[in-house]
Amino acid sequence: MKDRYNVSKLLEILIVRSLADRMRPESGAADSLVIVNAVNPGLCRTSLGREVTGAQKVIFGLVQLVLGRSAEEGSRTIVDATASGFDTHGQYLSNCRVTVPSDLVVGESVGKTQERVWNELLDLLEGIQPGVKDVLGS
């Protein structure tokens, strides 16, 4: 479970980048005015660590207290991403700025991994809602 948070963030960035590629005006997308980006609101003082116990709970609580933003402050980063222009399309935003994510996301070998994640997601979604692949493309 410890790694699930980090893995979910990696998957989020890969999926956002794939979706954004398919939503570019040159892609023939029906509505090229839609901006898709990934936003990092930072560590916020919320109930994120509600299931942590023992010493880890104390340490996490202290880290949240010292370094964490209020949930309201974190929400401002989401509002900022929503109001951002097309230059943020497909980008990773952190602290209200376009930020280059890890080399794992922008390195040479990411293309195949990103495409694989996208296709696996489409397969899962197709099983839930037939026709999704026709809309989002494979």
Give catalytic residue positions: 5, 9
Of 110, 39, 34, nearest to 75 (Cα)? 39
Beta-bridge partners for 94? 40, 97
Residue spans of alpha helices (H) in the chain = 4-22, 54-67, 71-83, 103-106, 110-128, 132-136
- Contact by Cβ (8 Å): 35, 86: yes
- Contact by Cβ (8 Å): 123, 8: no
